Amino acid sequence: MAERKDLMKTKLPSVRGLYHPEFEKDSCGVGFIAHIKGEASHQIVADANQMLINMDHRGACGCEANTGDGA
């Protein structure tokens, strides 16, 4: 198993801008909402809230009895 993890680490992209492969990890889901020109807007907040609603965590809600991380 250690060999596989080492192999996977070698296939990560190189450091680029703010991205650093050292911080790679599995996640249930990630969302990012922003105005392309950096302007503040109530719509940004509303869109971010809707994104959170849409990203229900299967394990946390108990949707599948045989899966989940115990959250």
Q: What is the mean pLDDT of each run of 10 residues along the chain (71 residues)?
A: 57 85 75 91 94 73 62 51
- 62 φ/ψ angles, rounded to the nearest 5 degrees: 70, 30
> Which of 8, 28, 34, 45 does the annotation list as catalytic?
28
Q: Is 61 a catalytic residue?
A: no
Q: How far apart are CA 46 and CA 30, in angstroms?
A: 17
| pLDDT at residue 34, as a whole number | 92
Indicate the pTM of the whole model.
0.46
pLDDT of 5 reads: 60
Is residue 68 within 8 A of residue 60, CB to CB? The reply is yes
